Amino acid sequence: MSDSKILFLDIDNTLLAEDGTIPEENVSALSRAAKAGHRIVICSGRPLSCVLPIARRLSLTGEGCYLISYNGSLIYECGRKRTLLEQTMPMSAVRLLFEKADEHGLYAQTYEDNTLLIRRECEESGYYVKKSGISFRVVPELPDGLSREPIKVLLIDLHDKSRLERFRMEVAPLLEGEAALFFSSDVMLECVKAGFTKGSAVRWLCRHLGIPIEYSVAAGDSENDIPMLEAARIGCAVANATPGCKDAADYITVRDCNHSGVAEIIEKFLL
């Protein structure tokens, strides 16, 4: 269809309600959009292993389906089961992040082969595993136990966001040009290779598919979604989005993630 569009869709607190379920109205709207010829691309900070199950529930893993994970650092073609783009972090940056996390008394984790790597089981790791459903492995000597450069490091503080903010203020200048640090929620600070965001992934995939960026729509709720909203022709923030995300949006939904805000976007801009 000449008027078909491509929707880039964040998962947590956008597609998913706060309790981790997908509102039925979102499921129905996504199905109708796909049948109308529009492309749906899940675009998440989660590892690929945590994105695939959600894509399968929505029948978005067949030929012609693509997924973006790790905040744009990995792009995956579902039909051929192959990675099209992967950007890892320099090991020097990974070591510095763990060292500084120790100095600040903050929990840090990373990933290898889509498995979560943690130093020990604790409140933060339990929260993340429950939320994402990811399998994990305990590697006490992290980051020394890594066999290759990882795609992402994630810091979590479940009780005081200001501790993560102070960490970013100190560490971001030290990693300029090597790594980027941004929030995906009030309790999670994401660290990936500099220059790779959900926004860069939106532009890359549109070029790869030969789809003009003018036909793109994006939906999100948090700081890590802002580059995606700015890259797409129409950037949408759900009603529960952060103030910064709303400021970057072209459209703010009336309904929040608990009340099918994504369906509202699909009805307005795709159907």
Instruction: Report the CATH number that the domain containing residue 180 is assigned in CATH.
Output: 3.30.1240.10
Residue 1 has pLDDT above 50, yes or no: no
CA distance 179 to 143: 16
CA distance 241 to 231: 18
- Give percent of the chain with pLDDT exceeding 90: 97
Same domain, 121 and 138: yes
The yes-or-no verdict on residue 256 having pLDDT over 50 is yes
Number of domains within the chain: 2
Same domain assignment for residues 224 and 188: no
Q: Do residues 187 and 202 both lie within one domain? A: no
Same domain as 47, residue 36? yes
Query: Residues 211-218: contacts with CB within 8 Å, 24+ apart?
Result: 211/6, 211/39, 215/4, 215/5, 215/6, 216/5, 216/6, 216/7, 216/8, 217/5, 217/6, 217/7, 217/8, 217/265, 217/269, 217/270, 218/7, 218/8, 218/9, 218/43
Domain residue limits at 148: 91-193
Q: Which of 164, 193, 222 is the last residue of a domain?
A: 193
Residue 204 near residue 68 (C-beta atoms within 8 A): no
What does pTM read for this prediction? 0.95
Q: Both 179 and 145 in a single domain?
A: yes
Quote the CA–CA distance of 226 and 257 in Å, as a whole number: 17
Q: Within a domain: residue 116?
A: yes
Statement to judge: residues 101 and 188 lie in one domain: yes
Same domain? For 10 and 41 the reply is: yes
pLDDT per residue over 102-158, tens digit each? Answer: 999 999 999 998 899 999 999 999 999 999 999 999 999 999 989 999 999 999 999
Dist CA 239 CA 243 (whole Å): 10
Query: Is the CB of residue 152 less than 8 Å from the CB of residue 190?
Result: yes
Query: Are 219 and 149 found together in one domain?
Result: no
On whether both 77 and 95 belong to a single domain, the answer is no
CA distances to 54, 63, 78, 157 from 60, rounded to whole Å, are 9, 9, 8, 33
In a domain, residue 236? The reply is yes
- Consecutive H or E run containing 221: none
- 77 assigned to some structural domain: yes
Question: What is the CATH number for 31?
Answer: 3.40.50.1000
Residue 33 near residue 40, CB atoms below 8 Å: yes
Whether residue 99 sits in one domain with residue 146? yes
| Average pLDDT for the chain | 96
Given 193, 212, 236, which residue is the final one in a domain? 193
CB 211 within 8 A of CB 225: no
Domain assignment of residue 228, yes or no: yes
193, 210, 238 — which closes off a domain? 193
Residue linked to tokens 């995906």:
184
**Residues 71/190, Cβ–Cβ less than 8 Å:** yes
Cβ atoms < 10 Å from Cβ of 90: 15
pLDDT of 3-33, one tens digit each? Answer: 899 999 999 999 999 999 999 999 999 999 9
CB contact at 8 A, 40 and 60: yes
Give the position of tokens 């802002």.
226
Same domain assignment for residues 80 and 203: yes
Query: Is 1 inside a domain boundary?
Result: no
* Residue 63 sits in the same domain as residue 120: no
Tell me, yes or no, whether 180 lies in a domain: yes
pLDDT on residue 3: 80
* 222-237 per-position pLDDT tens digit: 999 999 999 999 999 9
Instruction: For residue range 195-228, list pLDDT tens digits in order.
Output: 999 999 999 999 999 999 999 999 999 999 999 9
Residue pLDDT, tens place only, 76-86: 999 999 999 99
- Going by pLDDT thresholds of 50, 70 and 90, the confidence category of residue 2 is low
